[in-house]
Each structure stands twice: as structure tokens, then as C-alpha cells.
Chains A and B, each alone.
Chain A
Amino acid sequence: MKFSSNKQRVFLNPFSDEIITIEKGKKIDIVLSPSMYWVKKISLPVKSVREVKKLLPSIFEESLPKGHYSYYAYKSEDEFIVFAYEDKKILEIIHGKGIVSSQISSIYFAQTEFDKIETVIGIDEINAIYLKDKLLLLAPCSWFNTMEKLSLDSLKLSKHKISLQQYGHIIDPKSLYKIGVLLSFFALILGSELFIAKSKLETIEAKKEEIFSKYKLQSSTLQNEAALKKYTKIYTTQIKLRKYLSFFLKLHLKKNQNIVLVDYKNRVLSVTVSNIKEGKEGSIVSMLKREKIEYKISFHSDTVKVEIKL
């Protein structure tokens, strides 16, 4: 028989104080002593192991002390060999022997690995294992006259290996699965939300670009704001110019009085009216004041010049 060179085999006996040393780089296959699990041989009117596994908690319900158990089953001829074991307790014993989880390759029940033995095998100085009615039992060595020494090297390991739930005692795997699914679903929704939000952001940015090209705006907001400022200034100035020109054109002047000059440049509108002597400009001034127009007034000979800054 050829063994994998990087695997080491260990019979896990909780009654032994032996610390197991594992060679560097090697992994171990552990065979659990019968004292570390409960086993039953049962006949059930079901065909598959899968169906049996569903029934195992109720099958073991009354025979097990309180604890958090995992179950295993396999078919042996017309019967089922079923197991119950406490992951946490087995792990505690494994860790107590100086083995860390990452060093473990596989874990087997002694029941599945020694199911063909014909003699009694002593596992330590006090206990021995033997087969009775297809079940591997643990018994004191004192019951037997002769026994063989335990050796795992010649053992052909079965396919019945178990995986210990390291955290099964913290949270029920089914609940964990449900919570995991729920959290994943929530994360998926959030992921979609993020995707939608990013698309929305891209759409806004694209619309912004569209506005720039549609209205032939300059490349920077500052430039456009400066343009708006410039045109707004033109708009307000032109509105004022029209308003003040309209004001002067509607001005009630005496028969001999005329507007002789209207001059607008550098945003200053000046209107010169003839035949008004200093002190007689009252009607013009009162109308300017009524319209709340800021003005400068000056006289030259018989003319009055009103200047308004736009």
C-alpha cells in the first residue's frame, strides 16, 4: 500500500494525555475514538441516506445529553449506520492535542475504519476496541486476554469522512445561510442602487456637456458667467437709456423751450434744454426727483444741461 508522503495518521483518544507532533508541512488524517461519537445501527423504511439524515435529530433525541450535535449516516447492507457527534467538543480535544485546524486533512470515525477487524485492538493501556454486531465498541482491556496493538499504517481509509463545523455552536448553519442570503441580497440591492446612482450621475454630466454644445457656451463656467455679466450690463444700460430718453421726450416744456442736444456716450446721457435760466429749472428737477433719477445739472447762458449716469 502506498501512502501519501505528506499525510500523517492519528488515532484521537481523549483519554490520552499525549501531545501529537506533526512534521512540518504535513497534514493529518484523524480517526476518532468511539468515545467521541454516538453510533447506532438502524433499519428504516427509507431508501436514501439523504432521507435518513433528516430523521437523525429525532432518532438521537432521547439518547443524547444536551448539546449541539452534527450527524452522519451511511448505508451498510440493509441497515443504516448513523452517527451523532459534537463538533465543538471534538475540536476542543483536537486543539488540546496541539493540532490546529489548518493541519487537519480529514476526520474519520473509528467505526468506519475498523469495521472489518476480527480481533480486539488496544488503543491505550486501559481501553480497547472490538466489533460486536457490526458496531465498534470501546471496552476495558481487562475484559480481554489477548489484544493487538493499534496501528494505523496498514489501514485503508474509507470514504466516510466528516467536516467539523467549527462555528456550528455559535450559530445554526441554516440560520447562518439565511442571514448570509439576506445580507448578500441586501448587498446586491445596494450594488444595483449604486449602479443606478452612477448612471444617473453620468446622465447629468452628459446633459451638462449637451447644454454646452447646444448653446455654444465657452469651456469654463467662469467665462460664461463673465459673458452673462457683460450682456446683463448691456441689457440694463439699454433699458435705462430708453427709459430716460422717454422721460425727456415726455417732458412738459414751455413754448419757447426746446431740447437742443441729446448726447449719449460712455454711459452718460446728457440732455440740453434751451431758454431756461438758473432758478427756473424747477419743473424739470421735480420730475427727475419724482422718477427718482440721479442727475447732475449745470447752466450755461440760457441753457440747462442735465447729465444722468447710466
Chain B
Amino acid sequence: MNQINPLQIGGLLVVVILFLFFKISGVQSEILEADKHFKKIEKLALDVSALKNVYADKKRIQKSLQKIFSNRKLQSANLKIENKNKKIKVSSESMDSIALNYLMGKILNDSYNITTLKIKQLSKEKASFEMEIKW
């Protein structure tokens, strides 16, 4: 006649309920924390991805620069282009103001990581040009 005290069963159930409450509270805190972290990661991912697409997309940068450099307005400038793994160097010993205006207009109105730029006036209509863009 081993009977279990009903108060013990009730107590056990109360302990189970308290334990569940404690666990739920813990998991909910974890959810809040994880959600906060997720939102932070999501923002970080979007920001990094957007900036990378602008400044580190080698294919996009090379393609758009190629399009600019192949314009007939720059033919007289005799552009010297050095393509390297992480950067591109462009220079011209002498270019007229139309070519310079066109080139600078295109470069400055798009997003490139210009690391060096040197424009030196040679005469009233001519200037030398050096530029390095990295990605």
C-alpha cells in the first residue's frame, strides 16, 4: 500500500511548471538576443554587400572603366592602362580639356575607389593625367 502523497505529486507538478517557466523565460531571452543579433547581422550584411558591390566588384568596375576608356573622346589622350589584380592605373602624358572633362565627369559621377589622382597643367589646353583605382 505504497501510496504517493498527493501533495508530493502537486509539488512535483508545481516544480515542473516552475522549471518550464524558467526554461521558457530563458529561451525567450535567447530569442530576444538572437533576434537582436540577427537584425544586427542582417544590417551588417546589407551594408557590407552594398558597399562591396560598389567598391569591390572587380568585374563591374573593369567593365564600366573599359567602356569609359574606349570612348572616342579619349582617343587623342593615348591612355596608358595598367590592369593589375587589385587595381588599375591610367595615365596620359598629354590630354586636351575635352578629354579631361569627359574622363573626370565619368569617373567622379560614378563610384570608384580613387586612391591616387594627379592632373598637372601643361599648357592652357593640355594637362597630364595619372589615376589609380583600387577594388
Are A262 and B119 neighbours in the complex by a CB distance under 8 Å? yes
Q: Are A194 and B20 neighbours in the complex by a CB distance under 8 Å?
A: yes
A179 to B, closest residue via Cβ: B10
Q: Is B112 an interface residue (CB 8 A)?
A: yes
A207 to B37, CA, bound (A): 11
Complex Cα spacing A265 to B54, Å = 21
B44 touches A228 (CB 8 A): yes
Query: Mostly helix, strand, loop or mixed at chain A's interface?
Result: helix
A208 close to B (CB within 8 Å): yes
B1-25 to A contact mask, C-beta < 8 Å, 1/0: 1110111011001101100110110
A residues 235-290 near B (Cβ < 8 Å) are 235, 238, 241-242, 245-246, 258-265
Contact digits for A215-230, partner B, Cβ 8 Å, 1 yes 0 no: 1110001001101100
Instruction: Please provide the chain B residues from 40 to 67 with a CB less than 8 Å away from any CB of chain A in the complex.
Output: 41-42, 44-49, 51-52, 54-56
> In the complex, how many residue pairs between chain A and chain B have their CB atoms under 8 Å apart?
151
Which residues does chain B contribute within 8 Å of A147, judged by CB atoms? none
What is the CA–CA distance of A101 and B34 in the complex, to the nearest angstrom?
53
Q: Which of these, A167, A204, A234, A263, contacts B7 with CB under 8 Å?
A: A167
Whether A231 contacts B55 in the complex (CB less than 8 A), given A164-B1, A166-B3, A208-B34, comes out as yes
Interface residues of B in 78-135 (CB under 8 A from A): 104, 108, 111-121
Question: Which chain A residues (181-211) contact chain B, with CB distance < 8 Å?
Answer: 183-184, 186-187, 190-191, 193-194, 197-198, 200-201, 204-205, 207-208, 211
When A187-B13, A187-B16, A198-B27 are in contact, do A170 and B6 touch as well, CB less than 8 Å? yes
**Chain B interfacial residues counted at CB < 8 A:** 50
Partner of B5, one of A166, A227, A238: A166
In the complex, what distance in Å separates the CA atom of A258 from the CA atom of B51? 36
Known A184-B13, A211-B41, A262-B119; contact A224-B48, beta-carbon cutoff 8 A: yes
Q: Determine which of A179, A211, A235, A242 lies in contact with B51 in the assembled complex, contact meaning CB atoms within 8 Å.
A: A235
Asked if B108 and A242 make an inter-chain contact with CB atoms under 8 angstroms apart, the answer reads: yes
Q: Which residues of B lie under 8 Å from residue A183 when comparing CB positions?
A: 10, 13-14, 17
- Kindly list chain B residues whose C-beta atoms are within 8 Å of the C-beta of A101: 1-3
Chain A nearest CB, measured from B113 CB (Å): 5
Determine if B71 is an interface residue (Cβ-Cβ < 8 Å). no
Q: Is the CB of B56 within 8 A of A205?
A: no
Bound state CA distance, A29 and B130, in angstroms?
109
- In the complex, residue of chain A having the shortest beta-carbon distance to the beta carbon of B135: A234
Q: Which of B28, B31, B42, B120 contacts A261 (CB 8 A)?
A: B120
Q: Which B residue sits closest to A274, measured CB to CB? A: B121
Partner of B21, one of A105, A190, A259: A190
Residues of A within 8 A of B37 (CB): 208
Chain B residues engaging chain A, CB cutoff 8 angstroms: 1-3, 5-7, 9-10, 13-14, 16-17, 20-21, 23-24, 27-28, 30-31, 34-35, 37-38, 41-42, 44-49, 51-52, 54-56, 104, 108, 111-121
A–B pairs, 20, beta carbons within 8 Å: A163-B3, A166-B5, A167-B6, A173-B6, A187-B17, A190-B24, A194-B20, A197-B31, A204-B31, A204-B34, A208-B34, A215-B46, A231-B56, A234-B51, A235-B54, A238-B112, A242-B108, A261-B120, A261-B121, A262-B118
The 3 closest A-B pairs by CB, nearest first: A231-B51, A190-B20, A183-B13
